[in-house]
Every structure is written in structure tokens, then in C-alpha cells.
């Protein structure tokens, strides 16, 4: 490959997004690339020339190993939308100016639906202007809502955290036995797609009865039906644990988290509202309307930062996705995203592919309707067959002084 390459991270982090950086670095070095740069704070930082040389951190095996086990985005992230090219061509030219300064021939951008918009815009601009730099997207999102790819790196680890924590919480909630009714609402991220909340179903096994209801944003949420369900559950059992997506909304489109007026009216540059608080709202509603004690737990950022319980499968696939992006660049591809493909047959196998970024940027893939139970309070066996392989295996942190050691940027 001619010249150097750069890798950036964008959007909400995951427990394995750094493994993709490691994959890019390993494959690029194998291919004889001189410099593998990292953009600090994604495209937003890159526009201000915030660039580091990954050799400083990853030249030895120990750095690579630590990076794979470090949560959050090592390079820093951003939620930044490039402007419409006609309204601000300067910004596009600035990107190419910085690329030329560091002799960068290919940019790898790790992110979700919005971040793939950046890959799309830059690769389209390069084509239009006859520039020969290439742009390849590497999927990541705990939300698992990118289309085309079978699943997204980051999802398996967040799902593993959710299933494990719920299993622990279900034990805790049952501690007073028949002496007290205890209702627990667990709010799970995922915006408009219910993949993460569906992972609550994975808590169930021989030593755990599982959660009592799962509410995904794919179905309209009805407050009366919800209260009816809670009362019906409370008539036959004392310990009740309910998983609810941060993105559940009423039939009129209003988010449940906005109902008490506490929901944030603020939207990010991609028009997404910050969704938080529906668990607390519903717990309050239960107390008020039924008199039962109810409490809420919001997994919030814990579910995407939990590298202490990351899925080894997920880490390996994130790393592989980084490598596959470099291979695509070696074949002079551009305007594509790496996809994960599920191999045929009974035993789980994951392969990689490539897909046109135009079919992916800004799109959301929801949980299929047929995987949601008819009553709208659970997911079917098909979901479990899909998700269970993604949470397999562990790669524990490197511990020092009793707590995990992380790789941290100096700048
Ligand atoms: O990136 C996905 C995600 O973690 C969503 O599940 C969540 O709604 C959102 O990011 C939160 O974003 P932020 O951390 O920027 O508020």
C-alpha cells in the first residue's frame, strides 16, 4: 500500500472498539505500512490536526494486548456530522489537506450508523474530485443496529454484561422470598432498536428463572397494559424483574422517558434525543398506581464500558474487522464497510465481507417482528439462537493492584 494510514473511532464507545484499532495496526504493519496514525477525537479532532503515531503505544506485544482489554475509545471519540459539502467545502478540503500532510492514503473509521455517514461523504467527495485516498468503515455499536452485517462488534460484550448482571440482580431481588414483593425495572440502552434489551433473555438458565418481561422499542408501549402485566405478575410471585429499553415509546411516538418532563429535550447533531429515565418513571408509576415497592436500575454507560466481562468472541471479531478493513484497502476498495457474516452450518463461524456504505450510513436495523413474542413482552428462541454464540468466551483484564490496568493516551 502506498503511504501511511489512519484509524479513527466515532460515536458511543464499546468494550471492544479498541480491538479494532489493534486489528488495523497489526494488519497494516504486516502489509509493510510505515506509519499507522490514530485520529484523536475522531473526525472532529482530525480537522484540527489531532493525530498520534500508534507506534508509540503498540509497537510491542504488551501494548497490543493491553489495548484489546481496555474499554472506551482509546483514541477518543466524537459525535460530529460533516456539513453538506456544498455549504462547507472547506471542511472537506481540510480533511484531505491533513491527509496529505501525513501522507495518508487510507482512512479507517470505526463507528455506527452516523459515523458511516462520514465514510460515505468523504469517499463520495474523493470520487467526485478525483482524489485517490480511500475510506473504509469498520462496524461498531452496542446497539447492534447497523444493517447488512449479521451483527456489530461491541454488541456481544454488552449483551454478555446485560445477561450476567441481570442474572446477579435476579438473585438479589429474590432475597426476601415470600416476605416482600420487590419489583425491579432495568433500563437498557439501544435507542430505537431492541437488540440490547433482548439480551436480557440470555440471563435464563438452569440456575436462573430469567426476567419476567422484556419491553423493546419495536413495539408501541402501552402504560395500562404494562400496569396490568405488573399486577398479574405480582399476584403470582414476589420477585419481579423487568427489562425495558431506553427507547420505548407510546403509540403517539412520545418516548416514555419524556413523560414525567424529566426526559432531555436536547438532541445531538444527528437529531438523536438523549434517552434516559424511563425505568425510573415506570418504577414511580408502579408505586403510585399499585402501591408495590419498585425500584429502577439504569445500566447506562456501564453496559458499554464493561471490559472486565467482555466476550472473547466479540474481541476477536472486532480485531478481525480491523484486519479486514486493511485488506480491503490493499485491494484499493473505498466507500465500503466491513461486514460480519455468519457461516452456514450448526456450529457458529464468523467470516467477513464488504458492503457499499450507501446502503448502511444512517440506516437502523431493528429486531425482526417474528422474534418478538405475541404479547410483546419477550423474545423468541430464534433470538437466543442468534445471540448466544456472540457472548461466548472471556478475555479478562490484566490486573494490577487489584484493579484492571488500561492503556491510556498521553495526549
Ligand atoms: O452508541 C450507542 C449508544 O450507546 C446508545 O445506546 C445510547 O442511546 C447512546 O449511545 C448514548 O450516547 P451518548 O453517550 O453520546 O449520550
Residues 218, 221, 225, 228, Cα dihedral to 10°: 100
What residue's CA is closest to ligand 1, atom 15?
12
Distance between CA atoms of 221 and 234, rounded to whole angstroms?
Answer: 20
Question: Nearest to residue 259, comparing CAs of 248, 243, 244?
Answer: 248
**How far is the C-alpha of 225 from the C-alpha of 215, rounded, in Å?**
12
Question: Ligand 1 center to residue 13 CA distance, Å?
Answer: 8
Residue 39: name the closest of 64, 4, 68 by CA.
Answer: 4
Q: How much distance in Å is there from the Cα of 208 to the middle of ligand 1?
A: 29
Give residue 110's pLDDT: 98
In sequence order, the 6+-apart residues with CB closer than 8 A to the CB of 288 are: none
- Closest ligand 1 atom to 196 CA: 6
Query: What residues contact 97, with CB distance under 8 A and at least 6 apart?
Result: none
Say whether 143 is catalytic.
Answer: yes
Query: C-alpha dihedral over 377, 266, 294, 221, to 10 degrees?
Result: -20
Residues with Cβ within 8 Å of 219's Cβ and at least 6 positions away in sequence, in order, are: 372, 376
CA 32 / ligand 1 centre spacing (Å): 36
Q: Which residues, in sequence order, are CB contacts of 312 under 8 Å at separation 6+?
A: 392, 393, 394, 395
Nearest alpha carbon, ligand 1 atom 13: 12
Rounded Cα distance between 49 and 43, Å, is: 9
Which atom in ligand 1 lies closest to the alpha carbon of residue 12?
A: 1
Residues contacting ligand 1 via CB (< 6 Å): 11-12, 79, 112, 141-143, 189-191, 274-275, 304
Cβ(248)–Cβ(185) under 8 Å? no
CA–CA gap between residue 189 and residue 291 (Å, rounded):
28
**Protein residue with least CA distance to atom 5, ligand 1:** 190
| CA 107 from centroid of its chain's CA atoms | 21
| Closest ligand 1 atom to Cα of 246 | 8
DSSP helix/strand/coil, 20: helix
Distance 12 CA to ligand 1 centre (A): 5
Report CA(301)–ligand 1 centroid distance (Å): 8
Of ligand 1's listed atoms, the one at least distance from the Cα of 190 is: 6
Instruction: Tell me what pLDDT residue 263 has.
Output: 55
What does pLDDT average to in each consecutive run of 10 residues of the chain (411 residues)?
94 98 98 98 98 97 97 97 90 97 98 96 97 98 98 98 98 96 97 97 97 98 98 97 97 91 66 86 96 96 97 98 98 98 94 98 97 97 98 97 98 84
Q: Which atom of ligand 1 lies nearest, measured to the CA of 274?
A: 16
What is the distance in A from the centroid of ligand 1 to the CA of 17? Answer: 14
What is the pLDDT, as a whole number, of residue 372? 98
Nearest CA to ligand 1 atom 2: 12
| CA end-to-end distance (rounded Å), the chain | 28
Query: What pTM, to 2 d.p., does this model score?
Result: 0.96
**Active-site annotation holder among 117, 143, 212, 314:** 143
pLDDT at 279: 96
Amino acid at each position: 500500500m502506498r503511504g501511511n494510514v489512519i484509524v479513527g473511532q466515532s460515536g458511543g464507545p464499546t468494550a471492544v472498539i479498541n480491538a479494532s484499532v489493534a486489528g488495523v495496526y497489526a494488519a497494516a504493519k504486516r502489509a509493510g505500512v510505515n506509519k499507522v496514525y490514530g485520529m484523536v477525537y475522531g473526525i472532529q479532532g482530525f480537522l484540527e490536526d489531532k493525530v498520534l503515531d500508534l507506534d508509540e503505544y503498540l509497537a510491542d506485544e504488551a501494548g497490543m494486548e493491553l489495548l484489546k482489554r481496555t474499554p472506551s475509545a482509546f483514541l477518543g471519540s466524537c459525535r460530529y456530522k460533516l456539513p453538506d459539502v456544498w455549504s462547507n467545502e472547506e471542511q472537506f478540503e481540510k480533511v484531505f489537506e491533513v491527509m496529505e500532510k501525513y501522507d495518508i492514503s487510507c482512512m479507517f473509521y470505526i463507528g455506527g450508523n452516523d459515523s458511516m455517514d462520514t465514510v460515505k461523504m468523504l469517499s463520495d467527495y474523493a470520487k467526485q474530485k478525483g482524489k485517490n485516498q480511500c475510506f473504509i468503515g469498520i462496524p461498531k455499536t452496542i446497539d447492534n443496529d447497523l444493517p447488512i452485517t449479521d451483527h456489530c462488534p461491541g454488541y456481544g460484550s454488552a449483551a454478555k454484561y446485560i445477561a450476567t448482571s441481570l442474572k446477579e440482580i435476579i438473585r438479589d431481588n429474590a432475597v426476601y422470598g415470600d416476605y416482600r414483593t420487590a419489583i425491579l425495572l432495568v433500563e437498557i440502552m439501544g435507542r430505537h432498536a431492541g437488540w440490547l434489551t433482548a439480551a436480557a433473555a440470555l440471563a435464563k438458565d438452569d440456575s436462573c428463572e430469567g426476567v419476567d418481561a422484556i419491553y423493546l422499542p419495536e413495539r408501541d408501549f402501552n402504560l395500562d397494559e404494562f400496569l396490568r402485566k405488573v399486577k398479574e405478575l405480582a399476584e403470582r410471585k414476589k420477585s419481579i424483574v423487568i427489562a425495558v429499553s431506553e427507547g420505548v415509546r407510546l403509540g403517539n411516538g412520545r418516548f416514555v422517558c419524556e413523560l414525567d418532563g424529566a426526559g432531555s429535550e436536547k438532541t445531538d447533531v444527528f437529531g438523536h434525543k438523549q434517552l434516559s429515565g424511563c425505568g425510573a418513571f415506570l418504577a414511580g408509576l408502579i408505586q403510585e398506581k399499585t402501591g408495590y415497592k419498585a425500584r429502577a436500575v439504569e445500566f447506562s454507560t456501564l453496559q458499554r464500558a464493561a471490559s472486565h466481562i467482555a466476550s472473547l468472541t466479540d474481541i476477536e471479531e472486532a480485531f478481525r474487522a480491523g484486519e479486514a478493513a486493511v485488506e480491503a484497502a490493499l485491494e484499493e476498495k473505498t466507500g465500503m464497510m466491513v461486514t460480519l457474516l455468519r457461516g452456514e452450518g450448526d456450529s457458529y463461524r464468523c467470516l467477513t465481507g464488504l458492503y457499499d456504505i450507501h446502503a448502511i450510513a444512517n440506516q437502523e436495523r431493528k429486531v425482526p417482528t417474528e422474534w418478538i413474542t405475541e404479547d410483546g413482552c419477550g423474545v423468541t428462541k430464534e433470538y437466543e439462537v442468534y445471540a448466544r454464540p456472540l457472548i461466548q468466551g472471556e478475555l479478562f483484564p490484566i490486573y494490577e493492584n487489584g484493579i484492571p490496568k488500561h492503556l491510556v493516551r498521553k495526549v
